[in-house]
Amino acid sequence: MTRTVYVNGEYLPETEAKVSIFDRGFLMGDAVYEVTSVLDGKLIDFEGHAVRLERSLNELDMQPACSKEELLAIHRKLVELNDINEGLVYLQVSRGSNGDRDFVFPDPETTKPTIVLFTQNKPNLADSPAARKGAKIISIDDIRWGRRDIKTVQLLYPSMGKMMAKAAGADDAWLIEDGHVTEGTSNNAYFVTNGKIVTRPLSTDILHGITRAAVMRLAEEAQMEVEERLFTIDEAKEADEAFTTSASAFVMPVIEIDGVQLGDGTPGPIAKRLREIYLDEARKKAI
Active site residues: 151
Tell the smallest beta-carbon distance from residue 209 to ligand PMP (Å): 3
Is residue 212 within the footprint of ligand PMP (CB under 6 A)? yes
Distance CA 166, CA 145 (A): 23
**Which is closer to ligand PMP, CB of 106 or CB of 184?**
184
Residue 5 forms beta bridges with which residues? 12
Q: How far apart are CA 146 and CA 62, in angstroms?
A: 19
* Pick 82 or 187: Cβ nearer ligand PMP: 187
As measured in angstroms, the least distance from the Cβ of 132 to ligand PMP is: 20
Stretch that binds ligand PMP, among 9-17, 209-217, 228-236, 278-286 (CB under 6 A): 209-217
> What does the alpha-carbon distance between residue 145 and residue 174 come to, in Å, rounded to a whole number?
16
* Residue 189 bridge partners (DSSP): 244
What Cα–Cα distance (Å) separates residue 155 from each residue in 31, 152, 173, 220? 11, 8, 14, 32
- Using alpha carbons, list the distances in angstroms from residue 33 to 36, 89, 90, 110, 188: 10, 10, 7, 22, 17
Which span sits near ligand PMP by CB under 6 A: 112-120, 129-137, 243-251, 258-266? Answer: 243-251
Residue 36 interacting with ligand PMP (CB under 6 A): no
Contacts (CB under 6 A) with ligand PMP, residues 175-194:
183, 186-188
Alpha carbons within 13 angstroms on the beta-carbon side of residue 141 total 3
Residue 50 binds ligand PMP (CB under 6 A): no
Residue 52: CB minimum distance to ligand PMP, A: 7
Q: Which is nearer to ligand PMP, 92 or 188 (CB)?
A: 188
What are the residues binding ligand PMP (CB under 6 A)? 35, 183, 186-188, 207, 209-212, 245-247
